[in-house]
Amino acid sequence: MRAEQLTNPVAYHGEGPVWSPAWGGLRWVDMLTGDILSLGADGSISRRNVGKIAAAIRPRRAGGAVIALERGFALEDADGTLRALPEIWSDPSIRMNDGGCDPQGRFYCGSMEYKQKQGAASLYRLDPDGAVTTVLQNVTISNGIDWSPDGSLAYYVDTAAERIDVFDYDAERGLTSRRVLVSIPKEFGRPDGLTVDSGGGVWVAMARGGAVRRYTLKGELDEVIEVAASKVTACTFGGPLLDDLFITTSREGIEPGDDPLAGSLFVAKPGVRGMPVREFAG
């Protein structure tokens, strides 16, 4: 299967697509410019700058959004007002990178060192009351995280480890019993953002691999969607029936004239449906 190009190259480092009817469809981030992009019903694209970095975004149950910034979080109210929460750290060499909400509506987001220093990053959890907990340490490039349809499993990528991990999950204990779902050979690229479909399949974007790959609960590859850009960063299901797979791409580090569609948004119809986005409860 091959994805279709949906937009021109509109992002420098497109990431983190999220579909929510609450905000009228698809949003994603141009992470390193600090912009949140929105796709209009007519195909138009609007931008909103929220700071130096816009790492990840999820809708809030009360309206608006929760946003991961360079060194912490911000809350967007239903009227568009943006309120930054206290920074989690002060080290300017480390930034937020990717995240998602658990079944209880807590927002998990992980970091990375700008130069990708090994073990310098962590995975954090923002609770609805504003409390922040460090969930994992000694991470290098904290990337995609999502939960199984029944909420009993969580899938997670530390890109530098070149694999997808799976945790047991419950509301009280959080992430436990970490193990490897699948290790991905270097020749297929580097695992980046991921999403889980309604059947429990795990779809992972392959940076430097020009593809999205689906793995079963047993870690078996059963679908590959080719993308006409090398640095595929993230994917999510959306559309009225949640049967469109939206795919973001990046131009970061690519020379002018090379990889001409890099930075575009792509879409595919893989024949399965996703799950409604889990909203932040704060």
Domain range list for the chain: 4-268
Closest CA to 268 of 226, 220, 229: 226
Q: Render each residue's pLDDT in the chain as its tens digit; 282 residues.
A: 999 999 999 999 999 999 999 999 999 999 999 999 999 989 999 999 999 999 999 999 999 999 999 999 999 999 999 999 999 999 999 999 999 999 999 999 999 999 999 999 999 999 999 999 999 999 999 999 999 999 999 999 999 999 999 999 999 999 999 999 999 999 999 999 999 999 999 999 999 999 999 999 999 999 999 999 999 999 999 999 999 999 999 999 999 999 999 999 999 999 999 999 999 999
Catalytic residue (one of 35, 98, 192, 197): 192
Q: Give the pLDDT of residue 103.
A: 98
Whether pTM exceeds 0.85: yes
Instruction: Return the CATH number of the domain spanning residue range 4-268.
Output: 2.120.10.30
Q: Give the pLDDT of residue 122.
A: 98
Q: Give the pLDDT of residue 148.
A: 98
DSSP β-bridge partners for residue 15: 29
Q: Give the pLDDT of residue 90.
A: 96
The Cα–Cα gap between 192 and 173 comes to: 26
Q: Which two tokens stand for residue 47?
A: 């931008």
The Cα–Cα gap between 74 and 68 comes to: 6
Q: Give the pLDDT of residue 74.
A: 98
The Cα–Cα gap between 88 and 73 comes to: 8
Active site residue 91: no
The Cα–Cα gap between 158 and 233 comes to: 13
DSSP state of 50: -
